[in-house]
Chains A and B, each alone.
Chain A
Amino acid sequence: SQQGEEDPQALSIQEGENATMNCSYKTSINNLQWYRQNSGRGLVHLILIRSNEREKHSGRLRVTLDTSKKSSSLLITASRAADTASYFCATEGNFGNEKLTFGTGTRLTIIP
């Protein structure tokens, strides 16, 4: 299976601290994406990083990609209570088949 693994499975931090989540995958990719899911809701796209990119920023989010290690990390700086959610990485394989493969997710809890 190409499914990604995310680490840690759950993370609790104090509001204002930084949160780092990691994603590993198994096969070559075209891009890697991060999504957020609030409890009982749909997923929201956060950021997309292509295989030829190493780092990308969006507001308080910073994503890195290391294709040699088949891994990515998502950093959320200055966390807020509203950041409490599950975070999933998803990869598009270079098969041209229009699909994403989602990782197992990290459950992030921000403690006010």
Chain B
Amino acid sequence: DAMVIQNPRYQVTQFGKPVTLSCSQTLNHNVMYWYQQKSSQAPKLLFHYYDKDFNNEADTPDNFQSRRPNTSFCFLDIRSPGLGDAAMYLCATSSHGGESQYFGPGTRLTVL
């Protein structure tokens, strides 16, 4: 089945220790998104790629970076995680911007 896969599902890191979250898709969608979601809040868009074009949200901290080496994969790098970065990180894809988005199961990040 076509899907969006996120690894790992749970990630524990130490304060200041870099971490990378991964997302892959078999849908062959052009657009990939990274969201941060804290408890009982709406997903907050961090950035997205339309093909290889990277679009950063104005309020996304520099601590967050992303890479999309090919259509199928997208990575979220957190260079120096702080306690405030503990959250669920959701990857999503869309065939065209603004249309229905398909979400992965998320990665729960804990920062010690």
Contact = CB atoms under 8 A, between A and B. Distances in A.
Contacts of A107: 40
Nearest to B53: A98
B50 interface: yes
A48 B100 contact: yes
A99 B42 contact: no
Contacts of A44: 103
Contacts of A90: 101
A43 B100 contact: no
A103 B43 CA distance: 9
A42 B31 contact: no
A30 interface: yes
A3 interface: yes
A35 B42 CA distance: 11
Interface residues of B, number: 27
Contacts of B81: none
Given A45-B102, A48-B99, A99 B48 contact: yes
A105 B104 contact: no
A60 interface: no
Contact of A92 (B43, B45, B98, B105): B98
B94 interface: yes
B97 A97 contact: yes
B90 A43 contact: yes
B36 to A, nearest CB: 12
Given A45-B101, A100-B98, A105-B41, 9 more contacts: A3-B42, A31-B98, A42-B106, A43-B103, A45-B100, A45-B102, A92-B99, A97-B55, A104-B42
Interface of B: 4, 6, 31, 40-43, 45, 48, 50, 55, 88, 90, 92, 94, 96-106, 108
